[in-house]
Structure 1
Amino acid sequence: MNDLAFSIGEFDRETGYRPLNIPDGPHADVVYFVLNGNRVKIGTTANLRNRVRALSLPSSNVIAVVPGGRSREAELHAALSHLRVGRTEWFAFDPSVADLINHWHAQAMLARRHARFNVFTAPMPTGAQK
């Protein structure tokens, strides 16, 4: 499987890790990545289902969800600023974004194998953040 295919939704079936298991209501703050064409929106929310609806996109466009709030979002925006589209929260979806998402997916799969990790209720284990 190539890196791009993995980053946009072909996840490990053994662990059941899928960022698409979005709660129906409020949850802990998360930073989300939503793919739309060749762009990805990086934002934060405490109700991802409502946020995705507000963007008029299907939940299947959510390609990554990581623990964190506004400060984590700001760090990611700064790190990927060279890919920013105008003055928006949209970024070009290129290999560096796919690599970052793949790293988180791998960490989440490891966490799920060893514990009942849920990105919507618990912070990433120490050392698992990039």
Structure 2
Amino acid sequence: MPDDVRCLVDDDGCRGQVPRDAPVMLCERHLAAAGDWCEAEYGASDVLPSPCVLCGSRLGVRHRSGWLCAVCEWRHGDIPDDELPPPRVDVVYYLRYADRVKIGTTANPRQRFGAIWHDEVMAFERGDRALEQRRHVQFAADRYERTEWFRLSDALRAHIATVAAGIDDPWSRHARWMSEAIALRG
């Protein structure tokens, strides 16, 4: 942007110098006013004063009315009602043991996995028995007969990579689904 560009605001007689890197043709005073308005209207991302009680995230959005978790949108400071049962969130899971993968479903993965010998939780996919059955059909060629265990084929490995894309820890995805379900319940 040339050095001689002037502020678009002329109703107060401003016409001040526009910074070279300004995203719009406003002087610093009017850019600051626009930023303040955006922050008041839409909130500002910042670090929460303490971790979210639902999902553990530290990222929040600060509004005039208070903080919201940027991950699950739980209002910071609100306490979940411990008398309510936890929400049911069904997941299809992919557990690896050696060169085999178990495709199953559960609403309580921590409890379920305690009963299954495994090396790694590879991924979670939100879904119930219907989705689990579709995955069993999809990978039927790799299935060990009359079990929920499958050979870790290239096709299955690619599917799991797609399901897990962008997620370093499958448990963080499950925690988010649980916190979202609790937040929706209110």
TM-score normalised to structure 1 length: 0.60
Query: Unpaired segments of 5 or more residues in structure 2?
Result: 1-85, 169-174, 182-186
Give per-residue Cα distances to partners, 1:14-56, cap 9 Å, x unaligned: xxxxxxxxxxx87500000000011000000000001110114
The 1:77/1:57 distance shift into structure 2, 3 A limit, reads: same
Considering only CA atoms, is the larger Rg found in Structure 1 or Structure 2?
2
Among the aligned pairs, what percent are the same residue?
34
Superposed, 1:1-130 pairs within 5 Å as 27-57=88-118, 61-106=120-165, 118-120=176-178
Question: Could you tell me how far 1:85 is from its partner in structure 2?
Answer: 0.4
TM-score normalised to structure 2 length: 0.43
Q: In the comparison of the two structures, how many residue pairs are matched?
A: 90
Question: Could you tell me how far 1:105 is from its partner in structure 2?
Answer: 1.9
Return the structure number with greater relative CO, CA threshold 8 A, min gap 6.
Answer: 1
Residue pair 1:83, 1:91 contacting (<8 A) in 2 also:
yes
Greater helix content: 1
Residue pair 1:40, 1:93 contacting (<8 A) in 2 also:
yes
Query: Unpaired segments of 5 or more residues in structure 1?
Result: 1-24, 110-116, 124-130
Q: Distance in 1 between matches of 2:125 and 2:87?
A: 15
Residue pair 1:26, 1:46 contacting (<8 A) in 2 also:
no
